[in-house]
Chain A
Amino acid sequence: MLSESFRFFLGVRILAEMEIDVRGQTCPVPLVECRKALKKASPGDLVIVKGTHPASKKEIPMACEAMGLKVLDIEDKEGGKEWEIKIQR
């Protein structure tokens, strides 16, 4: 991810992509790590969350909706054992 000062120096808006891996983590870690990433991201940035905790697959989109953020994609992986959620900050 580019630092704020570097972005300013360039004077352009470069969208960053942030990936967080919470596979194997349980409640409330996936939700909390997702929020931490969203806090660090700049508006427009993409946050991708990879996890296995079943409840978080529906709760992360619920949290995003409550915060007015757009969920671009929810995808099942590894035959439904894993999921990947793409969020636009």
Chain B
Amino acid sequence: MGEKTVIILHSGDMDKVYSALIIANGALAMGMEASIYFTFWGLMRLKKGELNKGPLSKMNMMGLGRQMIKQRMDKANVASLERLMNDFKELGGKIIACEMTMEIMGLSKEELRTEWIDEWGAVGSYIQEARNANVTLFI
């Protein structure tokens, strides 16, 4: 242990949430520590029942493109975001929720999936996490 991956998830787009969770799970599976800092549109995905509700980052076409990609993902047997999140937590992944975003968006803790959230923080929490990280990404 000791090696670490820290990801900032700024986007709430479905495909980018997938990227963040797949990379973070990969890091944990390969023996690293991993944490994801959910901020701005990304934080919206931590609202109850919203994890898989994001649009597609490109070719969303009012949800039509998203529907098509979803079908293709099902066909390719891609795991659901809910499952990836549960695996992430089971393997010891850490989730930090951005407090400033909560203030801007007018969100209360009760509206979020608090069972997933390990820490509530600001930029200092991210820097502290990333200070000794080997991999850090902004998605």
Q: Are A27 and B22 in contact (CB under 8 A)?
A: yes
Q: Are A34 and B77 in contact (CB under 8 A)?
A: no
Chain A count of residues within 8 A CB distance of the other chain: 17
- Given A36-B87, A36-B91, A29:B31 Cβ within 8 A: no
Those of B20-65 within 8 Å (CB) of chain A: 22, 25-26, 28-31
* Majority-rule SS of A interface residues: helix
Q: Are B26 and A28 in contact (CB under 8 A)?
A: yes
Of B25, B29, B78, B91, the contact of A26 (CB 8 Å cutoff): B78
Q: Residue-by-residue, is A32-65 near B (CB-CB < 8 Å gives 1, otherwise 0)?
A: 1011100100000000000000000001001100
Q: Which residues on B are within 8 Å of A, measured CB to CB?
A: 22, 25-26, 28-31, 76-79, 84, 87, 90-91
Q: Which residues on A are within 8 Å of B, measured CB to CB?
A: 24-29, 31-32, 34-36, 39, 59, 62-63, 66-67
